[in-house]
Amino acid sequence: MRRKIIAGNWKMNKTTAQAAEFAKDMAARVGDKADVVFCVPFTSLAAVVAAVDGTNVSVGAQNMHFEESGAFTGEISASMLKGLGVKYVIIGHSERRALFAETDCMINKKTKAALANGLVPIVCVGETLAQRELGVTIEHVRMQVKAAFDGITATDAARVVVAYEPIWAIGTGVTASASQAEEACAAVRAVICEIYDNHVADVIRIQYGGSVTADNAAELFGQPNIDGGLVGGASIKADFDRITNYGN
């Protein structure tokens, strides 16, 4: 069985001191029911890596550049993240796509660079409300998955985590129903099977993200094709441990 993975995307929140304090406290409470990842701002990565050392929590970054080095002011490379002890990195979050004009091509390059440096990419896909209302959710998600995995070997693909995040549910308090989330995550698994084979489709982990709370986590994570969650605002609240324990 696939082990659940629950990642908290802290976004642009918490100073270094606040992050270290929160991470240390939360790491003692998240339990071992799932793999837990704190995806924190660049400024807090080193402090949070130290704060969760020896616990069930790993640390992820929220973004990275696809080049190894160069004249890219303000950017961070995969090897820089690796050197800090970071294990995961979010790639292609809808906020990065919408606010910073990240393209499918860029996301593919970032995914390859992360894998080449031993990081686990959490690749985000998902549709807008307009796309859902037009009935093109599955087509859109399939296209995003195909673009993200272009040129990636089956061995590397099996290491990737895919996060299905309907954009209309991110930070809105509106959650996709369990059946809506399951349908989209099943479609992700199906297209992975088409690109690779049954084995890769069976082992790859697919998260749901979008207004996940302690109250809806158990139902969402109990779906056959949902292997955990990418949690936004709720990941920096005092009861995030209830999400990692599926509401308990």
For 3-60, the pLDDT digits (tens) are: 999 999 999 999 999 999 999 999 999 999 999 999 999 999 999 999 999 999 999 9
Grade residue 135 by pLDDT with cuts at 50, 70 and 90: very high
Residues 6+ apart with CB under 8 A from 38: 7, 8, 10, 23, 26, 27, 48, 52, 57, 58, 59, 60, 235
> Which among 98, 102, 60 is positioned nearest to 81, based on CA atoms?
60
Contact 90, 63 (CB under 8 A): yes
pLDDT recorded at residue 120: 98
Percentage of the chain exceeding pLDDT 70: 99
pLDDT recorded at residue 215: 92
pLDDT recorded at residue 246: 87
In whole angstroms, give the CA distance from residue 233 to residue 210. 9
Grade residue 243 by pLDDT with cuts at 50, 70 and 90: very high
Sort residue 92 into left (φ over 0), alpha (ψ -120 to 50) or beta: left
pLDDT recorded at residue 173: 78
In whole angstroms, give the CA distance from residue 163 to residue 66. 19
In whole angstroms, give the CA distance from residue 222 to residue 5. 13
Percentage of the chain exceeding pLDDT 90: 92
Least confident range from 75-79, 141-145, 154-158, 171-175: namely 171-175
pLDDT recorded at residue 10: 98
> Which among 223, 228, 232, 233 is positioned nearest to 245, based on CA atoms?
228
pLDDT recorded at residue 175: 79
Residues 6+ apart with CB under 8 A from 3: 34, 35, 205, 227
- pLDDT at residue 226 above 80? yes
Looking at every residue in the chain, the average pLDDT score rounds to 96
Residues forming the active site: 93, 165
pLDDT recorded at residue 101: 96
- pLDDT at residue 194 above 90? yes
Grade residue 155 by pLDDT with cuts at 50, 70 and 90: very high
Least confident range from 106-110, 134-138, 140-144, 174-178: namely 174-178
What are the structural domains, with CATH classification, of the chain? Answer: 5-244 (3.20.20.70)
User: Which residues, listed in sequence order, are joined to residue 59 by a DSSP beta bridge?
Assistant: 38
Contact 148, 111 (CB under 8 A): yes
- pLDDT at residue 247 above 80? no
Contact 48, 23 (CB under 8 A): yes
pLDDT recorded at residue 172: 81
146/248: higher pLDDT: 146
